[in-house]
Amino acid sequence: MSIRRNPYSIDVIVPCYQEQDALPITAPKIAAYFRDLVASPSNDAMSFRLLLVDDGSKDSTWGIIEGLSEANPEIEGVKLSRNYGHQAAMLSGLSLATADVVVTMDADLQDDIHAVSAMLDAYESGADMALGVRQDRSSDSRGKRGFANAYYRLLRLMGVNIIENHADFRLMSRKALAALLDHGEVNLFLRGLIPTIGFSVMLVPYARQARVAGETKYTIGKMLRLAIDGITSFSVAPLRYVAFVGGGVFLGSILSGIYVLCVRLFSPQTTVPGWASTLLPLLFLGGLHILCIGVVGEYVGKIYLEVKRRPRFIIAERTKSAE
């Protein structure tokens, strides 16, 4: 990796959804941190822009963003036409980035903003991406920790290359960002897409902070949806497993048929169990068929969404400073 010596600009992308409680606290803190960072002689950062993306919030998030933008020349706002989801909101901000370096983080400030300094050190040392990785999951509930551990094991089983305990707190160079934006998927799973880009990567450990205000917007349903997208967007292993299971059931049915035939031929006095031996296999096979159809349907549905090529997001409004 080559050392970067030239001054550079920074765009900070922050997706916001229903963040009326947290944003008045976190946005000024983020802006103040980057002002100090730019003013510090310890790095070559020369300017920054904080881009707040409202992902179709129903509360007063957009009004707060407008106020912050009017009061701070470095803060700009983008409002999406509806709620497209966290990943699409982040991508919309990335698509508007013009700086040499892009930093993405969440609006709740659970990502330790002070880790950005280490990310910039990695960038100045030649890394094209610096990925924030949680040191531990002690701040999570026991159920969420168990879900995360099981999910990462499942991803490894499916052959998905993902950085464990890395979410959406990262720094990207202009080159890495351009490569990311070349991907045209409608179903986005950025934390899985990032490792496929290549280039030089450095991991930056940080301690996850408590949420400053409000509640998490990632419900169990949204986490499950993101988990399924993470698997189906980067692996066809579930389809192969369906084929293996189908082959196993087919082989089992042949062996069962041979067994029944042998009983009939060589031990006619032995009675093959009645309704239970018939009903249970039918219920098992019926459930298995529905499960397999569901797995195949998930992939067919993703293909359907991809081939329509609908916009991944629509920008409804931008603040004056963003025009």
Q: How far is CA 294 from the centre of its chain?
A: 22
What is the DSSP code (8-state) at residue 159? T
Give the pTM: 0.76
Q: Is residue 220 included in any domain, yes or no? A: no
Q: Is residue 224 included in any domain, yes or no? A: no
Q: Is residue 175 included in any domain, yes or no? A: yes
Shared domain for 245 and 170, answered yes or no, is no
Q: Is residue 231 included in any domain, yes or no? A: no
Shared domain for 195 and 267, answered yes or no, is no
Quick: pLDDT tens for 105-122. 998 888 889 999 999 999
Shared domain for 241 and 270, answered yes or no, is yes
User: In terms of Cα–Cα distance, which of 217, 226, 173, 185 is closest to 313?
Assistant: 185
Shared domain for 51 and 170, answered yes or no, is yes
Shared domain for 98 and 244, answered yes or no, is no
Q: Is residue 280 included in any domain, yes or no? A: yes
Domain count, the chain: 2
As a whole number, mean pLDDT of residues 209-231 equals 69
Shared domain for 264 and 123, answered yes or no, is no
**For residue 52, pLDDT beyond 90:** yes
Shared domain for 279 and 166, answered yes or no, is no
**For residue 272, pLDDT beyond 60:** no
Shared domain for 200 and 281, answered yes or no, is no
pLDDT at 322: 45
- Please provide the DSSP assignment of 46-89 as one string: EEEEEEEEE-S-SSSHHHHHHHHHHH-TTEEEEEESS---HHHH
Domain range for 132: 8-214+311-322
**For residue 208, pLDDT beyond 50:** yes
Which CATH number goes with the domain that contains 195? Answer: 3.90.550.10
Shared domain for 168 and 289, answered yes or no, is no
**DSSP 3-state of 121:** helix
Shared domain for 199 and 291, answered yes or no, is no
- Measured CA to CA, the distance from residue 98 to residue 87 in angstroms comes to 19
Query: Which of 50-59, 168-177, 198-207, 287-296 has the least mean pLDDT?
Result: 287-296
